[in-house]
Amino acid sequence: MADMDTASITDVWDRVFGAQPAPETWLVIATGVVALLAVVPHGIWRLTRNAVTIAHEGGHGLVALLSGRRLDGIRLHSDTSGLTVSRGKPTGIGMVLTAAAGYTAPPLLGLAGAWLLSAHHITALLWGATALLLAMLVMIRNAYGVLTVVLAGGAFLLVSWLTSADVQAAFAYFVVWFLLLGGVRPVFELQTKRRRFGLRRPSAEYAAAMGRSGAPDSDADQLSRLTHVPAGMWLLLFHAVALCSLIGGGRWLLGL
């Protein structure tokens, strides 16, 4: 019995952390094209952006915990906005890192995923994503957020357990391409919203609506208040992280 248990544990270990065969180049390119189609059209983006919001708010929450802050909860809304609430010192490096983690989390997660896929660790990526979503689920504080994270985690779990190696590879590559590409668009959207907000003096209703969707009380503006560095410089940092992650991750995925 002990030998059987040891063999089972070894099999699971090898399945998760072992290397899987590299997919064909056409599949890597095809999943990238599909991911691009999930990001560029506005109508589709209104739905798929929820996945980027999960990564965005998850980044805030993870860095808040790592920097010693107390994470009170995360909310995800049907308009693809989100809110992460943490307690701790209102200034300092921990608060700065927490505020900066949102827009940088999706592309950096995509970059990490591209590194795993370049080493052919497809199953490890799927299981790792499932574990992160499960950990995030504990901190979700609204019904829509719970539904969104459960559906995302369920998709990863079902694909990793019930599908063939080719399907797992296609799903993993699509997810990573989507994070890399989907990490770029929100920064441009934030830049556009801040530019529009600056064109006129807003009403209270307009300010509330813009604050909900990215401006004026955006991550860049919060960072500007915390560091006295112009919000435009933080936007430049967000752009740099997103674009460099896309270039580097894309090269890894394509085996360049």
* 191-240 pLDDT, tens digit each: 988 887 654 443 333 333 333 444 457 899 999 999 999 999 999 999 99
User: What is the pairing mode between strands 70-76 and 82-87?
Assistant: antiparallel
Residue pLDDT, tens place only, 73-125: 999 999 999 999 999 888 899 999 999 999 999 999 999 999 999 999 999 99
Parent domain of 68: 23-254
Residue 254 is inside which H or E element, if any? helix 231-254
Checking if the pLDDT of 2 tops 80, the result is no
Residue 86 inside a domain? The answer is yes
Q: How many Cα neighbours within 13 Å face the side chain of 115?
A: 8
Residue 2 inside a domain? The answer is no
CB 142 within 8 A of CB 76: yes
Q: Over range 24-51, report the average pLDDT.
A: 96
Residue 212 inside a domain? The answer is yes
Spatial distance between the Cα atoms of 243 and 236, rounded to a whole number of angstroms: 10
- Six token digits for residue 19: 């290397």
Residue 15 inside a domain? The answer is no
> Three-state DSSP class for 18?
coil
For the stretch 164-171, contacts whose Cβ atoms lie closer than 8 Å and that sit 24 or more positions apart, written own/partner, are 165/20, 165/21, 165/122, 166/23, 166/27, 168/20, 168/122, 168/123, 168/126, 169/20, 169/23, 169/27, 169/122, 170/23, 170/27, 170/30, 170/31, 171/126
Checking if the pLDDT of 14 tops 60, the result is no
Domain count across the chain: 1
Residue 44 inside a domain? The answer is yes
Give the pLDDT of residue 141.
95
Q: CA 120 from chain center: how many Å?
A: 21
Residue 9 inside a domain? The answer is no
Between 15 and 141, the more confident residue is: 141
Spatial distance between the Cα atoms of 127 and 90, rounded to a whole number of angstroms: 35
DSSP per residue over 77-138, as a string? -TTS-EEEEEES-SSSHHHHHHHHHHHHHHHHHHHHHHHHHHTT-HHHHHHHHHHHHHHHHT
Residue 57 inside a domain? The answer is yes
Residue 14 inside a domain? The answer is no
Spatial distance between the Cα atoms of 177 and 29, rounded to a whole number of angstroms: 10
